[in-house]
Amino acid sequence: MSRKLIKTIVTIGAAGILATACSPAAEEPGDQTPSTEATASPAESTEQGQHGEEKAGEVEVASLPARVLIAYEEGGLLTLDAKTGEVLGDDAKEGFLRLAGAGDGRHAMVINGDKFEAYDLGLITTPHGDHEHYYTADPRPTDVEFDAPKAGHVVTHDGLTALFSDGDGTIQIYESAETGEPSNVRTINTGEAHHGVAVPFADGSVVHTVGNEDERFTIRHIDEAGETLAETTDCRNVHGEAAAADGRLVFGCEDGPVIFDGKEFTKVDVSSYAGEGGYQRSGNLAGSEESEWVLGDNKTEEDAEFERPTSVAFINSATGEAKEIELGSSYWFRSLARGPQGEGLVLTYDGNLNVIDPESGEVTKKIKAIEPWEEKEKWQLPGPILKSDNGYAYVTDAENKELVVIDLLSDAEPVRHKLDVTPVEMTVE
């Protein structure tokens, strides 16, 4: 990590190498404070605000609004108010920028070449005794950076954030709440460079991939000291992970997914819908804490130069059951999300947002989101993006420069915000 001086914990990696670091009803999209019985009413929030401490540049609010961060093709990061579409910030920045949530509800992680960079969306929660205060501020880049050759996947789990470096196979883990000022970063060396992923647990254990630049078959569960607790080598070209109910994990492979139940790994039988030679790849997964089912893409043509599947897969993380659901229209890797009640969400080429009941496998609703589209041959080029947060689906239309906000718990017409830029990546806080 550079620019910010932090204390680093040195951990024995999975390969035994010492590593060091250089470093719920939907509310209005303008109101993203979690809705619970204990949440203060507007009147109560106002009363508590009398003894809140407002810093320069901050404005106290009754609840936090939703903000959308977009990386755009013309070169920069654009922050919008999700409810009004108002542009809150626009920072010029060159490069192919990917985005992910940092896990603290305030920051996004910008994946930029050989660095992970924290970006402050200006959504501030301050504990005060038995309650909290909320503030907004202007969005801005921060000086928090994590050095990571070929920065790859960001995973948030159990209050921790894991950053995977494809270029050297290392993992950096820290407490998500400390994203703006991390004080301790644990580094794990998985052995060799590979396109991998890691999931941290509160008990100090970590599930991570093992491989090299040519192949990766192994997923390993290690304890805080780096000792192996469980392992599977039955996940050809492992890619993608998702967390489901009860802390279970699902990993995508090219011969059917693997489930981790907290203690051991189990292979999922997908023979009923796999392609020739048992090929079945669910390399992009979407999980929900509200559901045992994990949604995945469903590719079954091993030798296809460019496969456009029209069905998705659902994997039950508790029973190991897997099923294929036909949608009648194709989609791509940015097309998958989950709704507030665990429903599956898939944006298809026909422009529809498909809402799927995982239990029955039925498409319960089709919502016209954007104009018909088709995936480009280069995945880096702008295309539609689907995200879901707090009862709302957010869809970008790159061709028509539009952000669409859909209330998933009502039949209200989607809200459409015009954009002056071409969106490539998006995250919502």
CATH classification of the domain holding 22:
2.40.128.630
The enclosing H or E element of 260 equals: strand 258-260
Tokens of 135: 């503030």
Distance CA 159, CA 250 (A): 19
Four-residue CA torsion sign, 101, 64, 69, 311: positive
The answer to whether residue 51 sits within a structural domain is no
The whole domain housing 166 covers 1-46+58-202
| Count of the separate structural domains present in the chain | 1
* Among 386, 402, 404, residue whose Cα is nearest residue 312: 386
The answer to whether residue 209 sits within a structural domain is no
Distance CA 288, CA 31 (A): 21
CA atoms within 13 A on the CB side of 219: 29
Beta carbons within 10 angstroms of residue 106's beta carbon: 23
Check residue 4 and give its pLDDT. 44
Query: Are 110 and 117 a contacting pair, CB within 8 Å?
Result: yes
The answer to whether residue 125 sits within a structural domain is yes
Four-residue CA torsion sign, 368, 66, 84, 403: negative
Contacts of 105 (CB under 8 A, 6+ apart): 64, 123, 125, 429
The answer to whether residue 288 sits within a structural domain is no
Distance CA 311, CA 325 (A): 5
The answer to whether residue 26 sits within a structural domain is yes
Check residue 14 and give its pLDDT. 42
Query: Are 78 and 70 a contacting pair, CB within 8 Å?
Result: yes
pLDDT tens digit at each of 429 positions of the chain: 544 434 343 343 444 333 333 333 345 575 554 333 333 333 333 333 445 566 888 999 999 999 999 999 999 999 999 999 999 999 999 999 999 999 999 999 999 999 999 999 999 999 989 999 999 999 999 999 999 999 999 999 999 999 999 999 999 999 999 999 999 999 999 999 999 999 999 999 999 999 999 999 999 999 999 999 999 999 999 999 999 999 999 999 999 999 999 999 999 999 999 999 999 999 999 999 999 999 999 999 999 989 999 999 999 999 999 999 999 999 999 999 999 999 999 999 999 999 999 999 999 999 999 999 999 999 999 999 999 999 999 999 999 999 999 999 999 999 999 999 999 999 999
The answer to whether residue 170 sits within a structural domain is yes
Range list of H helices, 275-375: none
Between the CA atoms of 336, 309, 332 and 248, what dihedral angle is there, to the nearest 10 degrees? Answer: 30
Check residue 394 and give its pLDDT. 99
Check residue 55 and give its pLDDT. 82
pTM: 0.88
Check residue 32 and give its pLDDT. 53
Check residue 241 and give its pLDDT. 98
Check residue 17 and give its pLDDT. 35
The answer to whether residue 16 sits within a structural domain is yes
Contacts of 370 (CB under 8 A, 6+ apart): 347, 351, 384, 395, 397, 400, 402, 404
DSSP for residue 178: G
**Taking the mean position of all CA atoms in its chain, how far away is CA 32?**
17
Distance CA 145, CA 168 (A): 17
The answer to whether residue 381 sits within a structural domain is no
Query: Are 398 and 389 a contacting pair, CB within 8 Å?
Result: no
